[in-house]
Amino acid sequence: MRKAKDRYIAFAFNLLIFALLFIGHYSLGGILTVKNATPLLILPMLTAFSMFNDELASALTGLFFGIFMDGASSEVYCFNALVLLFIGLFTSLISKYLFNRNIRSVAVLSILGNLFYFCLKWLIFYAFDSTISSSLTYLLDYAIPSAIYSAVFIIPFFFLERAFYRKIVS
Amino acid sequence: MRFFFRSRQFKIILVIVAIVAAVSVICAAVGGVIAPQANLIGTITAPFRSFATSISNGISDIYKAYSDGNALLLENAELEQENAELREKLAEYDRAIYENDFYKNYLEIKEKNPDFKFTAASLISRDSSDPYGGFVINSGSLSGIEEYDPVITEQGLVGYITEVGLTTSKVTTILSSEITLGALDNRTNDSGIVSGEIDLAKEGKCKFYNLSRSCNIAVGDYVVTSGEGIFPDGLLVGSIETIGSDKYNTSIFASVKPFVDMEEIRGVMVITDFDGKGGVLTEEGEE
């Protein structure tokens, strides 16, 4: 009974963190922007969440906040909903069957997830821009630095999610 | 892992993916419509985002007032030391007076266009990872906004509407490479095309190109919309900052600094109707 209660509390906290990250990204602007790199904190948070939750919960969380992002971002047609669903699903699957739940694994998964998101975004929205130079500018000056910068934030999120997980398991 | 791919969970996820992908394809086919689920969530979260943005603007105002105050003190000290800088400052005032006169003319242009119908809107969220500065406003189809409606501020042209929801709309700015608009040099009437480029967007500028070799444009000239395409004529775009020619020396291009600072936008006006609405300018400049 208590375990179920802890689980709900942890889930409510997670939702609150996701919501704050979402509002922060789309309302406070580029407060964390360094040069052209703007971190998308929802991505490392989703990676950390997916490490300690099952596939369906991770996929649905990714989908849910992806839909939020689709309503607020400049990308069109469900891009975020689908990509975050895949990131949540595959992070959860890989961490469950292939990786251990430690900081090195989560760092690798976070970098891969972020690179997947930003490179896919480049491929769909910017790769076929007017010139090769401007197409590569987004990839090299915005996408890759933003992906790496976002991945740095996995560390606090990982420890937070691990604390929730240990509380529930214990 | 293969057990997962045979499980009921996987089938549920597969169904969800299929539904989202189908919605995405339908929205892409219809064009200019925010996906229904994003529209619903966008409508629900709009007040929260609007509230958070107003807090953010308040913090930004306090910071700006503080930093501007310091800057003015420094400026005054420097002005006392150097008369030359004072003269420069006076020249700047003269230019400001000239710009004010120009804006008055712009207002007159607006008064001369009774066919314009406006809808006021406020910015509710900005995608800080969008290099072109796209944003979302708090008015949508319920306020009569449609895809491709021009968006302006009192300073000049901002961009156009790319997606419309019930109570929210997405705005693509003139810094974006998606935008292509017919434009004129206000002084010489030389015509060309204004479009965005990511390299220029970094500096908050856009490109004015397809100008003939014999054109007489000069740095500081104002660029206005020509009326070709989706924008009405006479809207202020920006001022010419640099001029160059292409590598074959066949045409001239210029970088244009928009009058509107895309980072500072809080409120905009959407032109929902005007005479001649409906034209679309293609990449080649054909209507």
Q: Which of A76, A82, A93 sits opposite B21 (nearest CB)?
A: A82
Chain A, nearest residue to B10 by Cα: A56
Is the CB of B13 less than 8 angstroms away from the CB of A76?
Answer: no
Q: Is residue B228 part of a domain?
A: yes
B24-74 tens-digit pLDDT: 777 766 666 666 766 776 676 667 666 666 666 666 666 666 666 667 767
**pLDDT at residue B103, as a whole number:** 55
Is residue B220 in some structural domain?
Answer: yes
List the single residue in A24, A25, A77 with the smallest CB-CB distance to B35.
Answer: A77
Q: For an interface test with B, which of A18, A32, A65, A78 has the most B Cβ atoms less than 10 Å from its Cβ? A: A78
Cα of A164 vs its chain's centroid, Å: 18
Confidence of residue B178 (pLDDT cuts 50, 70, 90): confident
Whether residue B135 is contained in a domain is answered as no
The whole-number average pLDDT for the span B62-88 is 68
pTM: 0.73
Interface test with B, best of A15, A76, A129 (most B CBs within 10 A): A76
State pLDDT tens for residues A144-156: 999 999 999 999 9
- How many CB atoms within 10 Å of residue A146? 24
User: If contacts are CB pairs under 8 Å, which of residues 35-94 in chain A contact chain B?
Assistant: 36, 38, 40, 54-56, 59-60, 63, 67-68, 70-79, 81-82, 85, 89, 93
Q: Among B28, B128, B197, whose Cβ lies nearest the Cβ of A29?
A: B128
Cβ partners under 8 Å of residue B168, min gap 6? A71, B34, B39, B42, B43, B46, B124, B136, B137, B138, B139, B140
Containing structural domain, residue B231: 180-264
Domain membership of residue B102 (yes or no) is no
Position B287 pLDDT exceeds 50: no
Number of domains in chain B: 1
Q: At what angle do helices A42-51 and A154-169 cross, to 10 degrees?
A: 30
Contact: A82, B20; criterion CB under 8 Å: yes
User: What CATH number is given to the structural domain containing B248?
Assistant: 2.40.10.350
User: Which of A112-116, A122-126, B81-85, B216-220 is the least confident region?
Assistant: B81-85
- Domain holding A135, by residue range, is 2-169
**Residue B250 has what pLDDT?**
75
Q: How far apart are CA A49 and CA B202, in angstroms?
A: 34
Taking alpha carbons only, the member of B212, B179, B222 closest to residue B197 is: B179
What mean pLDDT do residues B75-90 have? 70
Cβ-nearest to B199 among A26, A67, A134: A134
pLDDT band for position B127 (cuts 50, 70, 90): confident
Q: Is B17 contained in some domain?
A: no
Locate A146 and state its tokens: 């933003």
Number of structural domains (chain A) is 1
A108-113 long-range Cβ contacts below 8 angstroms, 24+ apart:
A109/A47, A109/A51, A110/A43, A110/A44, A110/A47, A110/A48, A110/A150, A110/A151, A110/A154, A111/A147, A111/A148, A111/A151, A113/A43, A113/A46, A113/A47, A113/A87
What CATH number does residue A69 fall under? 1.10.1760
